Amino acid sequence: MSVVSNAGPLIALGTINQLHLLHVLYESVLIPPTVLIETTRRDNEIARQIKTSTWLQVRAPQDNAEVERLRFWLDAGESEALVLARELGATLLIDERRGRTIAETYNVPITGTVGILIAAKQNGNLETITPLLDEMMRTGVRLSQRLYNTARKIVGESQELG
């Protein structure tokens, strides 16, 4: 399966040293040029991981007019990623609520960072996701308590929702 990623999941996975999961889970991982710029403009470990990930492919969307229309609601990277995913019939990796909502109106399949961790656990690529969720929150990745509890319940790491 091919996926197109926005910056959020790349940064979140890079923060917890799990960027490689994208390569493990998906046959093709594409990012638009603006997402590459957004994720590599700082000199940090995440930028280095992204720059050296030979399995990440940079591809620009073709419909620039649609990208510009979406810029009314979304930032440049989100707009490019959504249009590219739509053009390719690929799943969009995105965490931001507004972007997810708009992707749903375009009938573009979506998943986010937590969904990627769940899939990795279910596929046997991770033994546990709780420490990773905790680390994400500790490093400033916004994650609601409800999503945290739901994810843990889905993978059998918690009996409570609340």
Virtual torsion, Cα 118, 104, 57, 34, nearest 10 deg: -120
Answer whether 107's CB lies under 8 Å from 125's CB: no
Of the pLDDT bands very low, low, confident and very high (cuts 50, 70, 90), residue 162 is: very low
68, part of any domain: yes
60, part of any domain: yes
pLDDT digits (tens, 9 = 90+) for 83-101: 999 999 999 999 999 999 9
For 3, phi then psi, to 5°, come to -130, 155
54, part of any domain: yes
**What's the rounded mean pLDDT across residues 123-147?**
94
Q: Model-level pTM? A: 0.93
158, part of any domain: no
Of the pLDDT bands very low, low, confident and very high (cuts 50, 70, 90), residue 1 is: confident
**What's the rounded mean pLDDT across residues 34-47?**
93
49, part of any domain: yes
For the cut 90, the answer to whether the pLDDT of residue 50 exceeds it is yes
135, part of any domain: no
- Domain boundaries, position 6: 2-114
Return mean pLDDT, the chain: 94
Domain CATH code at residue 24: 3.40.50.1010
22, part of any domain: yes
Provide the domain count of the chain: 1
